[in-house]
């Protein structure tokens, strides 16, 4: 569309909106306490409750049940000592780089074969190393905390 046509349509829309408001045709505004998940005014500065930081060592706690099939597993141990993940240094991979084809009881959870497949290339071929898009583990995997859910969840597979 030409610039003049777009400008004309925008002015027309504004005129119609102004007419509707002037004639009382607009809906009642939504109260700010009814917006979002936080109950109260959008102008309130809320302070989240303090949560205990997960300080457990690897192997201290069992694996956590996944929220749904194919959900990224949550990390049952603390991760602060293993951050940041760098291009040449990934402590997660150092520990979890066990054979995903034959996981052994008591060993760290192996990195699955899906992390060796470059989904962006369209190939299903399993590579020799972790794909770069999967290198920063905490992009998908989060450590377990004692934080309660923010909202009720009735999801059922």
DSSP string, 45-102: ---PPP-PPP-PPTTSSPPPPPSSTTPPPPB-S--GGGPSP-SS--HHHHHH-S-TTS
Q: Residue 143 is inside which H or E element, if any?
A: none
In whole angstroms, give the CA distance from residue 129 to residue 90.
13
Confidence (pTM): 0.62
**Position 19 pLDDT exceeds 70:** no
29-52 average pLDDT score: 76
- The Cβ of residue 31 has, within 10 Å, a number of other Cβ atoms equal to 9
pLDDT band at 84; cut points 50, 70, 90: very high
Query: What are the pLDDT digits (tens) for 125-135?
Result: 888 888 888 88
Tokens in use for 75?
């990390």
């Amino acid at each position: 569309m030409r610039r003049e046509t777009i400008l004309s349509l925008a002015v027309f829309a504004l005129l119609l909106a102004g007419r509707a408001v002037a004639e009382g045709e607009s809906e009642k505004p939504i109260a700010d306490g009814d917006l979002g998940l936080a109950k109260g005014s959008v102008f309130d500065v809320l302070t989240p409750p303090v949560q205990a930081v997960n300080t457990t060592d690897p192997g201290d706690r069992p694996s956590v049940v996944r929220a749904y099939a194919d959900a990224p597993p949550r990390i049952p141990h603390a991760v602060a000592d293993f951050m940041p993940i760098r291009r040449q240094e990934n402590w997660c991979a150092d520990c979890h780089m066990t054979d995903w084809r034959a996981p052994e009881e008591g060993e760290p959870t192996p990195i699955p074969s899906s992390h060796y497949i470059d989904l962006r290339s369209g190939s299903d071929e399993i590579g020799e190393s972790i794909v770069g898009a999967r290198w920063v583990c905490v992009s998908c995997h989060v450590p377990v905390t004692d934080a309660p859910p923010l909202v009720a969840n009735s999801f059922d597979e």
